[in-house]
Structure 1
Amino acid sequence: MSNIHVAIIEDDPEIRKLMEIVIDGSPGFSCFHTYEDAESALIGLPRYKPHLVLMDIHLPGMNGIECTRKLTSLLPDTQIIMLTIQEDDDSVFDSLCAGASGYLIKSTPPAQLMEALEEAHRGGAPMSPQIARKVVRSFRPKSQSPLSERETEVLALLCKGENYRSVADALFVSTNTVKAHIKSIYQKLQVNTRAEAVSQALRDKLI
C-alpha cells in the first residue's frame, strides 16, 4: 500500500523541520511538501494533491483559516488538520467552518499526532481533548434565534461558503435583497464580518 502523503504549512522553520522528521519517520507516511506561507501552498498543493495537510493558523500574509477555505475548494479530497497554539472559540469554529477536518494543539505528542493523521485519513475528525470539549459544549439546546426564517436560510448558505450571487440564486431573490438580509443579520448578532456571523451562529446553535 502506498504511503499517506502529508503536506505542512508552518512558518516556524524549526517546528516545520521537526514535523517533517516525525512524519517521515513514521511507517506508512511521507512528508510530501512543506511551505512557510499560505500563498506558496496555494500555488504548489493543487499540483501535488496530498492526502493530508497540517495547517498553522498564524502565517505571514494570508492566515491558515482563509488558506483552509481556499484549499478545501481547490482540493476537496484532501483533509486539512489545523495544528496551532490557538485554543480560542473563534479560531476553532472558524477553522471548522472553513473546512478543516480536525484541530490539534501544537503540544500534541508525536505519537498522538500520527494517530490523529491516520484517523483523519480514515475519514475521522481528530481533535485535541480540550478542543473536543469546546465542540461538545457547543451542542447545547438551540438558542431562541433573533433571526427571521429567511435570514437563517441566508446565514446557513454563507456557512457553506456560498457567495452573495449563489445565495441569491438559491433563494430566488436579488443580490440586493441578500445584502439587505446580511446587513440585518450583522445588526441582530452585533457582528461586523461574515466570519464573525458564522462563528456566532455555530456557537449559539442558530443554524
Structure 2
Amino acid sequence: MKKTKISIIEDNRIIRDNVSKFIGFHEEFELSIIEGSVEAFLQEKNFNPSKQTDILLLDIGLPGMSGLDALPILLDLMPDVNIIILSTYEEEYMILKALCSGACSYISKKASLSEIVDAIRIVVNGGSYMSPSIAREIINHFMGGRVSKATILSDRQKEILEKLVDGKSYQIISEELFISVETVRSHIKKMYKILHVNNKTEAINKYMKGQIG
C-alpha cells in the first residue's frame, strides 16, 4: 500500500509533536518534513529534494514568513501538494484569503487529533474539509453577514469597545468610566479572547460588521 506522505509546518513544539506522533500511529501515512517555520521547511526541502510531500499541514501564525504569505511559494515549489491550514485564526477574512491562495482545507486548532486525521483522509480521497466553526464563517460570508454570531460581551466590555470605536484612548476611557487604566486593559484583554481577535483593529472590524451580540 502506497503511504501518503505528510509534512507539517507548525511553530508550537507541543502541537507539532502531538500531531506528528498521532499521524505516525496510522499505517497509511508516512511523515516527511516536520519543521517550525516556512524557512526551515524550504531549507530542508532544498537539502533533501527527494523528500516528497502529498499533504502539508500549515500553520498561519509562524515566526518569519506567515503561512498565508507562504502558500503561493509552497504551491509553486510543489504544485501537486494539498495544503491543509491548521490554525487558531477563525476570522472570515483569514479563512477566505487562505482558501483563495490555494489551501484546500482549513482546520481549527480546537479540533481533536482524530478530526485532523479524518480531514487528511478526506483530502487524500479528493475532498476538502473545514471545521464546523470555519464552515460557519464561510456561510456567514456568503449570506452577507446575516448569520447570527454567538459572541456575547458583558455590558462593560461593550461600553469599552464602543469607546474604542470612537477613537478614545485607554486613559480617556478610564476617566469617563471612573475605572483605572489597568482595569480597562484587563477588560480589553478578556474581550479580545471572547472575540477571537488579536488587536483593537480586528475588534472594531467585528463591531462595524455587526458581528457582536
State whether TM-score is above 0.5.
Answer: yes
Match of 1:88 in 2: 91
Give the partner amino acid of 2:16. Answer: R
Match of 1:13 in 2: 13
Match of 1:79 in 2: 82
Match of 1:56 in 2: 59
Identity of aligned residues (%): 30
Query: Which of 136, 141, 144 pairs up with 1:138?
Result: 141
User: How far off its partner does 1:12 sit?
Assistant: 1.1
Q: How does 1:1-207 map to 2 (within 5 A)?
A: 1-45=1-45, 47=49, 48-140=51-143
User: Structure 2 CA distance, aligned partners of 1:61 and 1:77?
Assistant: 25
User: Structure 2 CA distance, aligned partners of 1:43 and 1:119?
Assistant: 29
**Count of aligned residue pairs for this structure pair:** 141
Give the partner amino acid of 1:13. Answer: R
Coordinate RMSD, CA, aligned: 1.5
What CA deviation, in whole Å up to 9, does each residue of 1:80-107 have, x standing for no partner?
0000111011210111111101000112
Give the partner amino acid of 1:68. Answer: L
Please, which runs of 5 or more residues in structure 2 have no aligned partner?
Answer: 145-213
C-alpha contact (below 8 Å) 2:32/2:52 kept by paired residues: no
What CA deviation, in whole Å up to 9, does each residue of 1:97-133 have, x standing for no partner?
1110100011211111111001111221111001112
Please, which runs of 5 or more residues in structure 1 have no aligned partner?
Answer: 142-207
C-alpha contact (below 8 Å) 1:65/1:94 kept by paired residues: yes
User: Structure 2 CA distance, aligned partners of 1:2 and 1:34?
Assistant: 20
Q: Go from structure 1 to structure 2 and tell me whether the alpha carbon gap of 1:45 and 1:118 turns closer, same or farther (over 3 Å shift).
A: farther
Q: Secondary structure at the match of 2:23?
A: helix
C-alpha contact (below 8 Å) 1:83/1:105 kept by paired residues: yes
User: Structure 1 CA distance, aligned partners of 2:91 and 2:142?
Assistant: 17
Match of 2:206 in 1: none
User: How far off its partner does 1:139 sit?
Assistant: 2.9
Give the partner amino acid of 1:15. Answer: I
Q: Go from structure 1 to structure 2 and tell me whether the alpha carbon gap of 1:119 and 1:52 turns closer, same or farther (over 3 Å shift).
A: same
Q: Secondary structure at the match of 2:119?
A: helix
Match of 2:205 in 1: none
Give the partner amino acid of 1:105. Answer: S
User: Structure 1 CA distance, aligned partners of 2:44 and 2:71?
Assistant: 14
C-alpha contact (below 8 Å) 1:50/1:78 kept by paired residues: yes
User: Structure 2 CA distance, aligned partners of 1:135 and 1:42?
Assistant: 31
User: Structure 1 CA distance, aligned partners of 2:30 and 2:17?
Assistant: 13
User: Structure 2 CA distance, aligned partners of 1:129 and 1:45?
Assistant: 33
User: How far off its partner does 1:138 sit?
Assistant: 2.8
